[in-house]
A and B are shown apart, each in its own frame.
Chain A
Amino acid sequence: MTTGVLRLRKGGSVLSENGSLIGLIVLVVALTLLSGDFLTVTNLLNVGVQAAVTAILAFGQTYVIISAGIDLSVGAVAALSAVVLAWTATSNGMPWPLATGFALLVGIACGLVNGALITYGKLPPFIATLAMQGVARGLGLVISQGSPIALPDSVSHLGDTIGSYLPVPVIVMLVMGVITAVVLNRTYAGRAMYAIGGNEEAARLSGIKVTRQKLITYALAGGFAAVAGIVLASRLASAQPQAALGYELDAIAAVVIGGASLSGGKGKALGTFVGALILAVLRNGLNLLSVSAFWQQVVIGVVIALAVLLDTLRRRQAR
């Protein structure tokens, strides 16, 4: 009995730390009641797969938002990395592990350029990454000449399942999530992100090399975008220059729903994960319930607002 109580209490603290988790639970309960098809193992795995790309992008975005920045280029960088992967693996016949590594490097390089523009060039993050959004999207179109490139089978296995049940995208998402939690909680880079986002000048005067840490932050976001792009392309078995259009906004929404503050210094990997799940569960549920095309956008907008509202209300009450 005692252990049961203890566990409950621990659950309670996780709940109170994450207002968005309550939102997710409410959503899941509501959908379970409304649709008999929702709460099945296959459907939940589907939701996981559908959340994967947004979640991975959002994990990368979490770093940036915690350090009081913003990255509008993640969707475009994901598409560029995917195109680079397909292009090197098909046209240039590169073996797939090498091609994957190369795609990852492209993402990291984009992130480093963002970071350099922001630190050395003193551009506001919004502008620097908006510029990168255009450049990455454009380069993707240039390389692919505007058409989708089919992925070789060796790579598209990344979008399949292990055995007959376990989808690789879900595994990748969970791994990236754990990496994010570890980076944020345990590493110097992660702790520096919180300090820089909370008060950049205080961080600098405490000996944190702000320029270097910001470069790392944006490089991580770029790298995560590349991973998201690879997962996206392997799910479709095709790399598309126009893929992941507008995903950066979903990613930012997921991070903010997860309790991060756009003014920096706050945010958690778990929160972001919950935020991404809320978006995916919602889209899945709307399909299951056959909600009309026009109303879907309304519902998504309302739920995003409600999720964040719930979190701020909870915080205000805690005061």
Chain B
Amino acid sequence: MTEEILRVRGLRKRFPGVVALDGVDFDLRPGEVHVLLGENGAGKSTLIKMLSGAYHPDEGTIFVDGRETTIRTAEDAQRLGIATIYQEFNLVPQLTVAENLMLGRPPRRFGFVDKKAMYARAQEMLDRVGVDADPRAPLESLGIARMQMVEIAKALGLDARVLIMDEPTAVLTTSEVERLFTIVRQLKEQGVAIVFITHHLEEIAQIGDRVTVLRDGASVAEVPADTPEDELVRLMVGRSIDQQYPRERSTQGAPLLEVRGLTRTGVFEDVSFEVRAGEVVGLAGLVGAGRTEVVRAIFGADHYDSGEVLVDGRRLPRGNVTAAMEAGLGLVPEDRKGQGLVLGADIRENLGLVTMRHATHAGFVDRAGQTKAAARVAEQLGVRMSGLTQEVRTLSGGNQQKIVIGKWLLAEAKVLILDEPTRGIDVGAKVEIYQLINSLTAAGHAVLMISSDLPEVLGMSDRVLVMARGRLAGELSAAEATQDSVMALAVGELEETA
């Protein structure tokens, strides 16, 4: 057995009001992929932030190469060969790929940046991870998947021996995930030790060697990666979850949302569909098929060129969020932090954002009423928090998503549009959100759900719409919809036109 490169014993960390880590043990050997599994708020982020020098433990020790070490700063971590790839990249979009790869330490000649050497070195670094990108191209011209590869190449360029990857697959498509795994396997062979965080249980067996499960800030088990998914879920949640997709169909009523011939030139074309009361309609398709663009246009966040949107039979004006809201639409956007939440504000404030208009009389907001309503919804959603005045920034992803949905619950939206509602959310919170969808449709509301997670679309939708290249490629009933039939529609038209 090879010597452990990293050993963590009894790590503890307290934040005001919360114990984030409560005794974590964790080992890492060279050439292994060690999966870190746990619900949001279980302490995964806190742990990796300590390994990368962002936080300091209150108690416990970290050993690197068998020696006790303190990691005070990001530079310390870098010197020890520990690199972390966060979900939010540490890259500068406006700079070129090469400049990003050598950020802060470009090759120099006579005090000037040696561009020739920089591009050559960048090419080598890119080749090592096998990504096809021009070192001279601005980073922002790359898609998110290739940006991630650049981030990995950058970490390896710093001679990283330990690579920590925080949910690297959350933003990738199936084929991109495959490419990532190929690279991870190569790195393994080169002896790099990898800490891998994911919420996709099926990925664990594919890529992992061992799994450490965290729950409520403590490490509860270390199991081999081929442990059955049910067992992993049980370890993670502390109880067994009977059903991953607990959809309960409700009786359907009149159409609440009707979209007719919606077109924005060059983005989407002639999109028509309806969503009935009590119904969950899934909107599937590849990333870039125009799904997000369509729902943003429906909600009035963006303009469209022709077509119409009707809610409850009444036509909505174009590009008017307030009118869409008043008519009973609600949008839970794809980018939770960037578009869904005011991160620096507290829970009460975020929950009340939509209802504030109606709670205003003569310019004054009924804050007592708002607080009461927020308390009710937070309770109903089971938000884990220290209080209503906790900053939303400090909540875990799942709890943050509950807040975004909560503000529309308070507004009693008749039609809720969910764009990737469970991205980056753990199993426990996912099921809670599915149950919420059930209770909404049971109460006669309608739900339109975009998701790139096919099992989720299949498990939760009463009807599936598939988009490809800006058009509706087809519609499948719950019975017809399978992985294959959906993918055929999503990819099919691509092949026809190609």
Give residues in A with beta carbon < 8 Å to B. Answer: 185-189, 191-192, 194-195, 198-199, 201-209, 261, 265-266, 318-319
When the two chains form their complex, are residues A205 and B365 in contact, meaning their CB atoms are under 8 A apart? no
CA distance A195 to B365 in the complex (A): 14
With A191-B365, A209-B322 already in contact, the answer to whether A198 and B338 are too (CB < 8 A) is no
**Does residue B143 face the partner (Cβ distance < 8 Å to A)?**
no
**Does residue B341 face the partner (Cβ distance < 8 Å to A)?**
yes
Query: What is the 8 Å Cβ interface bit string for chain B, positions 343-374, against chain A (1 contact, 0 not)?
Result: 11100010001101100100111010000000
- By a CB distance below 8 angstroms, the chain A residues around B321 are 204-205, 207
- By a CB distance below 8 angstroms, the chain A residues around B6 are none
Partner of A194, one of B16, B333, B345: B345
Within 8 A of A (CB), among B1-58: 15-16
For residue A181, give the distance in angstroms from its CB to the closest CB of chain B: 13
When the two chains form their complex, are residues B357 and A188 in contact, meaning their CB atoms are under 8 A apart? yes
Question: What is the chain A residue whose CB lies nearest that of B360?
Answer: A188
CA distance A185 to B322 in the complex (A): 23
**Does residue B301 face the partner (Cβ distance < 8 Å to A)?**
yes
CA distance A261 to B353 in the complex (A): 21
CA distance A189 to B356 in the complex (A): 10
Partner of A201, one of B16, B322, B338, B353: B338
Question: What is the chain B residue whose CB lies nearest that of A198?
Answer: B342
When the two chains form their complex, are residues A185 and B344 in contact, meaning their CB atoms are under 8 A apart? no
When the two chains form their complex, are residues A191 and B342 in contact, meaning their CB atoms are under 8 A apart? no
- By a CB distance below 8 angstroms, the chain B residues around A206 are 353-354, 407
Give residues in B with beta carbon < 8 Å to A. Answer: 15-16, 299, 301, 321-322, 325-326, 331, 333, 338-345, 349, 353-354, 356-357, 360, 363-365, 367, 407
- By a CB distance below 8 angstroms, the chain A residues around B356 are 188, 191-192, 208
For residue B414, give the distance in angstroms from its CB to the closest CB of chain A: 15
When the two chains form their complex, are residues A202 and B341 in contact, meaning their CB atoms are under 8 A apart? yes
When the two chains form their complex, are residues B341 and A187 in contact, meaning their CB atoms are under 8 A apart? no
- By a CB distance below 8 angstroms, the chain B residues around A189 are 363
- By a CB distance below 8 angstroms, the chain B residues around A201 are 338-339
When the two chains form their complex, are residues A195 and B339 in contact, meaning their CB atoms are under 8 A apart? no
When the two chains form their complex, are residues A186 and B364 in contact, meaning their CB atoms are under 8 A apart? yes
- By a CB distance below 8 angstroms, the chain B residues around A203 are 342, 353
15 contacts between A and B (CB under 8 A): A186-B365, A187-B360, A187-B363, A188-B364, A195-B342, A198-B342, A199-B343, A201-B338, A202-B338, A202-B339, A202-B353, A205-B340, A207-B354, A265-B344, A318-B16
When the two chains form their complex, are residues A202 and B15 in contact, meaning their CB atoms are under 8 A apart? no
- By a CB distance below 8 angstroms, the chain B residues around A265 are 342, 344-345
For residue B422, give the distance in angstroms from its CB to the closest CB of chain A: 19
- By a CB distance below 8 angstroms, the chain B residues around A209 are 322
Given contacts A195-B342, A198-B342, 17 further A-B contacts (CB under 8 A): A186-B367, A188-B365, A191-B349, A191-B356, A191-B365, A192-B356, A194-B342, A194-B345, A198-B344, A198-B345, A199-B344, A202-B338, A202-B342, A203-B353, A206-B353, A206-B354, A207-B357
CA distance A83 to B356 in the complex (A): 40
CA distance A97 to B341 in the complex (A): 45
- By a CB distance below 8 angstroms, the chain A residues around B299 are 205
Partner of A205, one of B333, B344, B357, B363: B333
> Which of A185, A189, A191, A206 has the most B CB atoms < 10 Å from its CB?
A206
CA distance A207 to B364 in the complex (A): 17
When the two chains form their complex, are residues B339 and A207 in contact, meaning their CB atoms are under 8 A apart? no
For residue B412, give the distance in angstroms from its CB to the closest CB of chain A: 13
CA distance A109 to B340 in the complex (A): 34
CA distance A207 to B353 in the complex (A): 8
CA distance A111 to B164 in the complex (A): 50
- By a CB distance below 8 angstroms, the chain A residues around B407 are 206
For residue B404, give the distance in angstroms from its CB to the closest CB of chain A: 9
CA distance A203 to B325 in the complex (A): 13
CA distance A27 to B354 in the complex (A): 43
- By a CB distance below 8 angstroms, the chain A residues around B349 are 191, 194-195
CA distance A261 to B393 in the complex (A): 16
CA distance A199 to B363 in the complex (A): 22
When the two chains form their complex, are residues B342 and A319 in contact, meaning their CB atoms are under 8 A apart? no
For residue A319, give the distance in angstroms from its CB to the closest CB of chain B: 7
For residue B130, give the distance in angstroms from its CB to the closest CB of chain A: 36
CA distance A198 to B322 in the complex (A): 19
Lowest 5 CB-CB distances: which A-B pairs, in order? A198-B342, A206-B353, A207-B325, A188-B360, A265-B344
When the two chains form their complex, are residues A185 and B343 in contact, meaning their CB atoms are under 8 A apart? no
Question: What is the chain A residue whose CB lies nearest that of B336?
Answer: A202
- By a CB distance below 8 angstroms, the chain B residues around A202 are 338-342, 353
- By a CB distance below 8 angstroms, the chain B residues around A266 are 344
- By a CB distance below 8 angstroms, the chain B residues around A186 are 364-365, 367
- By a CB distance below 8 angstroms, the chain B residues around A261 are 344
- By a CB distance below 8 angstroms, the chain B residues around A204 are 301, 321
CA distance A195 to B392 in the complex (A): 13
When the two chains form their complex, are residues A205 and B360 in contact, meaning their CB atoms are under 8 A apart? no
When the two chains form their complex, are residues A195 and B353 in contact, meaning their CB atoms are under 8 A apart? yes
CA distance A195 to B15 in the complex (A): 26
- By a CB distance below 8 angstroms, the chain A residues around B357 are 188, 207
CA distance A319 to B331 in the complex (A): 33
- By a CB distance below 8 angstroms, the chain A residues around B363 are 187-189
- By a CB distance below 8 angstroms, the chain B residues around A318 are 16
- By a CB distance below 8 angstroms, the chain B residues around A194 are 342, 345, 349
When the two chains form their complex, are residues B345 and A205 in contact, meaning their CB atoms are under 8 A apart? no
When the two chains form their complex, are residues A199 and B16 in contact, meaning their CB atoms are under 8 A apart? no
Question: What is the chain A residue whose CB lies nearest that of B340?
Answer: A202
Question: What is the chain B residue whose CB lies nearest that of A212?
Answer: B322
For residue B367, give the distance in angstroms from its CB to the closest CB of chain A: 7
CA distance A191 to B342 in the complex (A): 12
CA distance A265 to B341 in the complex (A): 12
Question: What is the chain A residue whose CB lies nearest that of B341?
Answer: A202
Question: What is the chain B residue whose CB lies nearest that of A207?
Answer: B325
